[in-house]
Amino acid sequence: MTQEALAEALSVSVGYVSNMERGITKISLTTLAKIAGAVDCELGELVSGTAAMEKDYLDAEFSALLSRLNQEEKRMLLRLLKTYLDEK
Protein backbone atom coordinates (compact mmCIF):
# COMPACT_ATOMS: atom_id res chain seq x y z
CA MET A 1 0.00 0.00 0.00
CA THR A 2 1.36 3.40 -0.89
CA GLN A 3 1.61 6.29 1.52
CA GLU A 4 -0.98 8.08 -0.58
CA ALA A 5 -3.46 5.20 -0.32
CA LEU A 6 -2.94 4.87 3.43
CA ALA A 7 -3.27 8.62 3.91
CA GLU A 8 -6.55 8.57 2.01
CA ALA A 9 -7.83 5.60 4.04
CA LEU A 10 -6.97 7.39 7.28
CA SER A 11 -8.11 10.82 6.11
CA VAL A 12 -4.70 12.32 6.88
CA SER A 13 -1.94 13.88 4.80
CA VAL A 14 0.82 11.94 3.08
CA GLY A 15 3.28 13.93 5.20
CA TYR A 16 1.61 12.62 8.35
CA VAL A 17 1.93 9.03 7.10
CA SER A 18 5.56 9.66 6.22
CA ASN A 19 6.23 11.03 9.69
CA MET A 20 4.58 7.96 11.26
CA GLU A 21 6.77 5.65 9.17
CA ARG A 22 9.92 7.49 10.22
CA GLY A 23 8.92 7.52 13.89
CA ILE A 24 8.63 11.29 14.04
CA THR A 25 4.91 11.31 14.81
CA LYS A 26 3.59 9.28 17.71
CA ILE A 27 0.62 7.15 16.74
CA SER A 28 -2.48 6.94 18.90
CA LEU A 29 -4.18 3.61 19.51
CA THR A 30 -7.16 4.88 17.52
CA THR A 31 -4.94 5.68 14.53
CA LEU A 32 -3.19 2.33 14.87
CA ALA A 33 -6.57 0.59 14.79
CA LYS A 34 -7.46 2.50 11.62
CA ILE A 35 -4.15 1.46 10.05
CA ALA A 36 -4.85 -2.18 10.94
CA GLY A 37 -8.22 -1.89 9.24
CA ALA A 38 -6.73 -0.23 6.17
CA VAL A 39 -4.09 -2.93 5.71
CA ASP A 40 -6.50 -5.73 6.67
CA CYS A 41 -4.72 -7.12 9.72
CA GLU A 42 -5.42 -7.44 13.42
CA LEU A 43 -4.40 -4.62 15.71
CA GLY A 44 -2.45 -7.14 17.78
CA GLU A 45 -0.27 -7.94 14.78
CA LEU A 46 0.83 -4.32 14.61
CA VAL A 47 1.35 -3.99 18.34
CA SER A 48 3.07 -7.29 19.17
CA GLY A 49 5.44 -7.51 16.22
CA THR A 50 5.47 -9.78 13.23
CA ALA A 51 8.56 -12.00 13.44
CA ALA A 52 6.57 -15.24 13.24
CA MET A 53 4.17 -13.85 10.66
CA GLU A 54 7.08 -12.55 8.60
CA LYS A 55 8.51 -16.08 8.35
CA ASP A 56 5.11 -17.42 7.31
CA TYR A 57 4.75 -14.60 4.80
CA LEU A 58 8.20 -15.21 3.32
CA ASP A 59 7.58 -18.94 3.07
CA ALA A 60 4.24 -18.36 1.36
CA GLU A 61 5.68 -15.74 -0.97
CA PHE A 62 8.58 -17.99 -1.94
CA SER A 63 6.22 -20.92 -2.49
CA ALA A 64 3.90 -18.83 -4.66
CA LEU A 65 6.77 -17.62 -6.82
CA LEU A 66 8.26 -21.09 -7.07
CA SER A 67 4.94 -22.53 -8.25
CA ARG A 68 5.04 -20.18 -11.25
CA LEU A 69 8.27 -21.73 -12.56
CA ASN A 70 8.53 -24.69 -14.91
CA GLN A 71 10.87 -27.59 -14.11
CA GLU A 72 13.83 -26.19 -16.04
CA GLU A 73 13.46 -22.81 -14.34
CA LYS A 74 13.32 -24.54 -10.96
CA ARG A 75 16.53 -26.45 -11.76
CA MET A 76 18.24 -23.22 -12.78
CA LEU A 77 17.07 -21.48 -9.59
CA LEU A 78 18.32 -24.40 -7.52
CA ARG A 79 21.75 -24.18 -9.17
CA LEU A 80 21.85 -20.44 -8.55
CA LEU A 81 20.86 -20.87 -4.92
CA LYS A 82 23.47 -23.56 -4.36
CA THR A 83 26.14 -21.36 -5.95
CA TYR A 84 25.07 -18.42 -3.82
CA LEU A 85 25.22 -20.47 -0.62
CA ASP A 86 28.60 -21.97 -1.54
CA GLU A 87 30.05 -18.50 -2.20
CA LYS A 88 28.55 -16.98 0.93
pLDDT tens per residue across span 3-62: 999 999 999 999 999 999 999 998 888 999 999 999 888 887 777 765 556 667 788 888
Give the integer Cα–Cα distance in Å for 83 and 88.
9
pTM (2 d.p.): 0.53
Distance from chain centroid for Cα 20: 16
How many angstroms separate the CA atoms of 10 and 65, rounded?
A: 32
Q: How many residues does the chain have?
A: 88
Cα dihedral sign for 68, 74, 62, 60? positive
